[in-house]
Amino acid sequence: MNAFEATNLYFGRAASIMQLSSSIVRLFETPQREVKVGLTIEMDNGDIRTFQGYRVQHDNSRGPWKGGLRYHPHVDPDEVKALASLMTWKTAVIDVPFGGAKGGITVDPKDLSHAEQERLTRVFVDKIHDIIGPQRDIPAPDVNTGPQHMAWIYDQYSKIHGHTPGIVTGKPVDLYGSLGREAATGRGVAIATRQALLAMNKDIVGATVAIQGFGNVGTWSASILASMGARIVAIGDASGAVRNSDGIDVERAIAWTKKHGGIHGFDGGHSLKDATAVLFEDVDVLVPAALGGVITRDNARDIRAPFVVEGANAPTTPEADAILHEKGTVIVPDIYANAGGVTVSSFEWVQTLQNFTWTEEEVNEKLERRMIKAFDTIWRVATDKKVSLRTAAFIVAIGRVGKARVLRGLS
Ligand code: NAD
């Protein structure tokens, strides 16, 4: 099953509980627009290379399409479609006025210099500028893209359309970015973890946590969970993994990772045999915060954590989801757990459009309120309907998107 089929399966499960008609199911299974573009740039050594870029706009019933741009060798049309659909449901669960989109370029950015990445990003904007816009479709960072890429997009788009900082979110704080945006997804993951534990009468203080992925989401999740009193005992990334049952000094681990390009060799714990070993640690909470499809039918039975909080998008395949559900594992689903990023993106968009800035405290406080409210809503639906948190989150999201679509009309 590919990523798009998996997303539609989760969607379909909720849709059948809601008794949606097959025509409405088909409507929401079908992206509104899929764009594929060839991106040709000159490399630093004079060679010419062509890359494939994608933008999928899944649904805009509740507002402009919104979603990140991923630069990764595994980016393909199915993955982009799946992630675009997840964005539709995520923006609805957390109740920000956006639809869902996603984009990406099939490339390993490690193979490109800074200047080559800039040229590639600018060519991408040239190819998709007429389908994006601050009231139309607003890209943001995702795997291997960050504030610098957003600055290039803002600049290139503005060359064509005039000064338009609202074209992207996740911009550098010095260039219309929002305070608190960089940490927002991790902060949301930490709040989601705390609320899920609380709902099961457990305390975040002293809870043990393993984290897979130590980039933007992983580092901020670790740092904020630790500040809430949790003990981070295992961290893994693409370079390796470490464990320390007394608790890893997260800030030292972050500094190490920045300096060495990965967690491998970190001297604040002992190395695990491979990066995936963190998934199977005997901890209270597992936070997958790397790529999708890492918890599968083949390894789900080996997951020992009773709580899985999905920092990454689509880390659990549907087969694994069923196995974990049967085992009684509480899965806090991606469309809620990692929604902190798009929430603060919506705050950034509002600030940019108003030419006004909020303090970091204001941003964090507004984020916290939304994360708690959304958790309470999906927890209530899960309890009332005796369904998983994932199905409950889809039910809430589909209800909101469906209502908007009906009110606006179909054409
Ligand atoms: P990132 O590029 O900053 O970090 C990715 C991390 O994953 C790195 O530490 C990398 O080493 C690790 N990784 C890659 N391959 C791995 C492997 N095979 N095994 C173990 N670790 C591996 O990306 P990010 O922005 O932190 O995004 C991580 C996930 O969170 C993605 O699924 C993304 O879609 C999702 N997400 C990100 C945001 C955001 O605001 N950045 C928001 C919502 C969801």
Ligand 1 site: residues with CB under 6 angstroms?
A: 141-144, 185, 212-218, 236-238, 275, 289-292, 311-313, 338, 341
Q: What is the DSSP string of 207-276?
A: -EEEEE--SHHHHHHHHHHHHTT-EEEEEEETTEEEE-TT---HHHHHHHHHHHSSSTT-SSSEE-SSGG
Kindly provide the residue ranges of all beta strands, DSSP E only, lying in 2-132, ordered along the sequence: 33-42, 48-59, 65-72, 100-106
The confidence score (pLDDT) of residue 275 equals 80
For ligand 1, what atom is nearest to the CA of residue 291? 32
Domain locations in the chain as residue ranges = 32-165, 182-337
For ligand 1, what atom is nearest to the CA of residue 338? 43
The confidence score (pLDDT) of residue 254 equals 98
Residue 102 annotated as catalytic: yes
The confidence score (pLDDT) of residue 2 equals 83
Contact by Cβ (8 Å): 298, 276: no
Protein residue with its CA nearest to atom 15 in ligand 1:
238
Question: Domain 32-165 adopts which CATH fold?
Answer: Rossmann fold (3.40.50)
The confidence score (pLDDT) of residue 29 equals 94
Interatomic CA distance for residues 319 and 329, integer angstroms: 14
Interatomic CA distance for residues 321 and 332, integer angstroms: 11
Q: How far is the CA of 375 from the centre of ligand 1 (A)?
A: 23
What is the CB neighbour count within 10 angstroms for residue 174?
Answer: 8
Q: How far is the CA of 187 from the centre of ligand 1 (A)?
A: 15
Residue 41 DSSP symbol: E
Protein residue with its CA nearest to atom 13 in ligand 1:
238
The confidence score (pLDDT) of residue 411 equals 67
Contact by Cβ (8 Å): 68, 45: no
Protein residue with its CA nearest to atom 28 in ligand 1:
290
**pLDDT tens, position by position, for the chain (411 residues)?**
888 888 999 999 999 999 999 999 999 999 999 999 999 999 999 999 999 999 999 999 999 999 999 999 999 999 999 999 999 999 999 999 999 999 999 999 999 999 999 999 999 999 999 999 999 999 999 999 999 999 999 999 999 999 999 999 999 999 999 999 999 999 999 999 999 999 999 999 999 999 999 999 999 999 999 999 999 999 999 999 999 999 999 999 999 999 999 999 999 999 998 888 999 999 999 999 998 999 999 999 999 999 999 999 999 999 999 999 999 999 999 999 999 999 999 999 999 999 999 999 999 999 999 999 999 999 999 999 999 999 999 999 999 999 999 999 986
Interatomic CA distance for residues 141 and 237, integer angstroms: 19
Interatomic CA distance for residues 121 and 7, integer angstroms: 28
Protein residue with its CA nearest to atom 19 in ligand 1:
238
Contact by Cβ (8 Å): 313, 338: yes
Q: 182-337: CATH homologous superfamily?
A: NAD(P)-binding Rossmann-like Domain (3.40.50.720)
CATH fold match for the domains 32-165 and 182-337: yes
Q: How far is the CA of 145 from the centre of ligand 1 (A)?
A: 10
Token pair, residue 52, equals: 């494939």
Name the phi and psi angles at 261, rounded to 5. 80, 5
In the sheet that holds 48-59, the strands lie side by side as 33-42, 48-59, 100-106, 65-72, 137-141
Catalytic, out of 81, 90, 102, 171? 102
What is the CB neighbour count within 10 angstroms for residue 302?
Answer: 10
**3-state SS, residue 285:** strand
Q: How far is the CA of 402 from the centre of ligand 1 (A)?
A: 30
Amino acid residing at 29: E
